Amino acid sequence: MRPIIPDYLAEVLGDVESDTSGEPAGYIPELAAADPERLGAAFAMIGGEVYGAGDFDIEFTIQSISKPFAYALALSDRGFDSVLAKVGVEPSGEAFNEISLESDTGRPLNPMINAGAITVHSLTGAEDLKPAERVERVLHGLSAFAGRRLRMDEAVCASEMENAHRNLAIAHMLRSHDILTEDPRPIVDGYTRQCSVLVTTRDLAMMAATLANRGINPLSGEQVVPEAVVRQVLSVMFSCGMYDAAGDWATQVGIPAKSGVAGGLIGALPGQIGIATFSPRLDRHGNSVRGVSLFERFSSDMGLHVMGVPAAARAVVRSDHVVGSGPSALRVLQLQGGIGFAGAERIVQEAEGISPSNVRVALDLTRVHSIDDVARRMLLEVARRLTLDGHEVYLVDPESIIPDPDPGDGGRVTVVDNVGHADLHTATAGGGQIG
């Protein structure tokens, strides 16, 4: 069976490819020299599967996308009280490089603006760390989110330090308010190193999936940060992650997100999925032009809005076994619960493992109590493709969870009441309801 989700991703990338508006970040030569045509996208499921299309294995610097993860590390390392005493959680409604300190305390308004992120960097690791140890702590933490050891782009880092006037200004201002309590320059240096970590779109999707998965990396199974930290981080991303376009994003896309000046963009939907895109041309807010378009499309196509009513996201595939043997052997995928996009993805993944020799395949919906639009369409597409691959497909659907199923365009499906009935209809033409 051909893979459904990469096909979908490739199609959507194709749709946005022609948009060449915006400009790559130009403030340092290394970023300005980025190939503006690069385009990639990846989905990382909380079950660990990653789907990608385009340049999703090309490395680029993480930049501001490091902010929510460093925030998670600081909350985890120092505790909520210590971090909240130094960095607020209020949206600033301002651009990323605004200083936006509280007038009385000098506390940065939130950890997504540079003032907050520089402070957060200083709060990672234990209190007595030396600057280089702190950088190593952050690199280690980001790597844990990604599930592989990451490294820095020294050239970008050096170039950024040469142009770090504004961040130095911010850091000295924070120092004057005792928000920073050390020499500002090594902190800005460390923060710049944090921003220079190289990631692929795949890495970013996996990092987002770790947030979506209660802080547990879906591949390594490591609990990188506690679940309460994840809720905090996702909330702040939702309100503050897209700078002065935060409200538009929250309403239209509805996925906690964060963008980086190198062209990356991530989103994490709790309990479901981590998404990442990469395209270097930026809009006036500093967000990737095509990245924003992709997320709008994903949110709309897959009903991923955090304010949408969710379907259950776990253990959708209850079992996958073969009944009988020989030509009449039946491969049965027993499904359960409520199925949304994320659940459907699990089914797709399972279906892709079906060998050509399993001619007869049953999708058993007996224990499924609900299914949303996108999941229904995905299941029918699974059926269609299995048909095209030469399989006979049965839908075991005693409660008509999917009424009048029509896979369309060459697909064929036989609806039966229970798995036993599938045996009786080996040679029956598809599409008919059998009671």
Which residue ranges are tagged as binding site? 64, 114, 160, 167, 191, 243, 261
Our CB check for its own copies shows the closer of 142 and 354 to be: 354
Our CB check for its own copies shows the closer of 16 and 212 to be: 212
Our CB check for its own copies shows the closer of 80 and 424 to be: 80
Determine phi and psi for 367, rounding to 5 degrees. -95, 10
Site for its own copies in 112-171 (CB under 8 A): 165-166, 168-171
**Interaction between residue 186 and its own copies (CB under 8 A):** no
Structure tokens at 72: 């998670």
279 is a catalytic site residue: no
Our CB check for its own copies shows the closer of 194 and 336 to be: 336
Catalytic residue among 261, 292, 361, 416: 261
**Interaction between residue 423 and its own copies (CB under 8 A):** no
191 is a catalytic site residue: yes
The 3-state secondary structure of the chain, one letter per residue: CCCHHHHHHHHHHHHHCCCCCCECCCCCHHHHCCCCCCCEEEEEECCCCEEEEECCCCCEECHHHHHHHHHHHHHHHHCHHHHHCCCCCCCCCCCCCCCCECCCCCCECCCCCHHHHHHHHHCCCCCCCCHHHHHHHHHHHHHHHHCCCCEECHHHHHHHHHCCHHHHHHHHHHHHCCCCCCCHHHHHHHHHHHHCEEECHHHHHHHHHHHHCCCECCCCCCECCCHHHHHHHHHHHHHHCCHHHHHHHHHHCCCCEEECCCCEEEEEECCCEEEEEECCCECCCCCEHHHHHHHHHHHHHHCCCCCCCCCCCCCCEEEEEEECCHHHCEEEEEEEEEECHHHHHHHHHHHHCCCCCCCEEEEEEEEEEEECHHHHHHHHHHHHHHHHCCCEEEEECCCCCCCCCCCCCCCCCEEECCHHHHHHCCCCCCCCECC
71 is a catalytic site residue: no
Applying CB under 8 A, among 306, 362, 363, 365 the residue interacting with its own copies is 306
261 is a catalytic site residue: yes
Say how far apart CA 141 and CA 319 lie, in whole Å.
35
Per-residue binder mask for its own copies (CB under 8 A), 64-103, x = binder: ------------------------xxxxxx-----x----
Stretch that binds its own copies, among 62-70, 127-135, 152-160, 314-322 (CB under 8 A): 314-322
**Interaction between residue 378 and its own copies (CB under 8 A):** yes
Q: What angle do CA 16, 288, 303 make, to 5 degrees?
A: 65
**Interaction between residue 296 and its own copies (CB under 8 A):** no
**Interaction between residue 284 and its own copies (CB under 8 A):** no
Applying CB under 8 A, among 213, 217, 279, 288 the residue interacting with its own copies is 213
Q: Taking the complex as a whole, how short is the minimal distance between the CB of residue 424 and its own copies, in angstroms?
A: 25
Structure tokens at 271: 């309990």
Our CB check for its own copies shows the closer of 168 and 198 to be: 168
Site for its own copies in 381-400 (CB under 8 A): 381-382, 385-386, 388-389
Site for its own copies in 25-64 (CB under 8 A): 43, 45-47, 49
**Interaction between residue 333 and its own copies (CB under 8 A):** no
| Site residue total, its own copies (CB under 8 A) | 102
Say how far apart CA 288 and CA 279 lie, in whole Å.
6
Catalytic residue among 243, 253, 292, 393: 243
Annotated binding site for substrate: which residue ranges?
A: 64, 114, 160, 167, 191, 243, 261
Catalytic residue among 16, 51, 64, 299: 64
Catalytic residue among 8, 50, 51, 67: 67
Determine phi and psi for 17, rounding to 5 degrees. -60, -35
Stretch that binds its own copies, among 148-156, 195-203, 378-386, 424-432 (CB under 8 A): 378-386
Stretch that binds its own copies, among 33-41, 125-133, 193-201, 295-303 (CB under 8 A): 295-303
Q: Taking the complex as a whole, how short is the minimal distance between the CB of residue 299 and its own copies, in angstroms?
A: 10
**Interaction between residue 432 and its own copies (CB under 8 A):** no
Q: Which residues are catalytic?
A: 64, 67, 191, 243, 261
